[in-house]
Amino acid sequence: MAHKKHRAAAHEEEHENHERWLITYADMITLLMVLFVVLFSIGQVDLAKFQALKHSLSNSLGGPAKPNPVVTGGAGVLTAGSQISGAVPSGTGSLGSPVPSDQALIALVRQKAAAEQATLTQAEKQIEQALTNKGLQDAVTFRQEVRGLVVTVVSDNVLYPVGSAVLQPEGRAVLDALAPALAHLPNDISVEGHTDNQPIVGGGEYPTNWELSTARATAVVRYLIDAHGLVPSRLAAAGYADTRPIVPNTSASNEGLNRRVEIVVLNQNATSNQTGSS
């Protein structure tokens, strides 16, 4: 009797062992189902976010959302008759104005640069003519740089006495000829003082070339404001001492060329770019 009970118990244990794998299998299937549900949910959330972003961008540009052939499985990006130049099609702006393509933006930048170049060239001709009328054409030189039109006035015997920042009568005459053209320009103006590399000796009002160059630039700015009414917010003064020579300080004549004041009519395009990046 005991033997039969032992065999029955063994049979029950064997039966339980054979069916336990079903529980493990069911757990695995359940976990896989949960995994796929989670993955599907994540995919749906990303798609919803993408659709929301697309509609938001479309609304900000003031036009209806256009189907993306890559996302929606449309005709594709190289369908017959489509442009393959790489340009972004223009849409409409928030006020109904067209949004330019890359080529249109490049053309606009070039147009603005050409217009600015023409403005600076016209200003140079006007200043040169005014100086010629007063016989002062030799007191000024011109050059155009990326930053704008640079009008260089030699300091010696024109703007200031040696070691001084007091404007000479001839220097005021040069500025009187420059001022009308500067006043009619919308550009900002930077006045920059420069010296040679000879140190100031014997003390005095300006202990170094830094103070002297800055004082000379400031004197020009004040004269343009006080005598000709230029808007102060358009003007700036800077002193560079002997750090930016135009020729080596190897002779007295070269040192005289380095002692100068430069009036820079700043390029509006370069100025706006710097302001926007700051």
Q: Domain map of the chain by residue range?
A: 2-72, 104-277
- For the ranges 3-12, 19-28, 99-108, 256-265, which has the lowest average pLDDT? 3-12
Contact at 8 Å (CB) between 159 and 174?
yes
What is the model's pLDDT at position 97? 54
Tell me the pLDDT tens digit for each residue of 132-178.
998 888 889 999 998 999 999 988 778 888 888 999 999 999 999 99
Q: How far apart are CA 200 and CA 203, in angstroms?
A: 7
Verdict on whether the full-model pTM lies above 0.85:
no
Highest mean pLDDT: which range of 51-55, 77-81, 242-246: 242-246
- List Cβ<8 Å contacts ≥24 apart for 66-72: none
Q: How far is CA 24 from each of CA 14, 16, 34, 207, rounded to the nearest angstrom? A: 17, 13, 15, 92
Highest mean pLDDT: which range of 19-28, 86-95, 212-221: 212-221
Q: How far apart are CA 261 and CA 77, in angstroms?
A: 58
Looking at the chain, how many residues does it have? 278
Domain 104-277 has CATH 3.90.1640.10: no
Q: How far apart are CA 130 and CA 191, in angstroms?
A: 20
Please check the confidence at residue 68 and state whether its pLDDT lies above 60.
no
Q: How far apart are CA 237 and CA 223, in angstroms?
A: 12
Please check the confidence at residue 202 and state whether its pLDDT lies above 90.
no
Q: How far apart are CA 192 and CA 245, in angstroms?
A: 12
**pLDDT greater at residue 8 or residue 224:** 224
**pLDDT greater at residue 211 or residue 26:** 211
What is the model's pLDDT at position 81? 42
Contact at 8 Å (CB) between 191 and 261?
yes
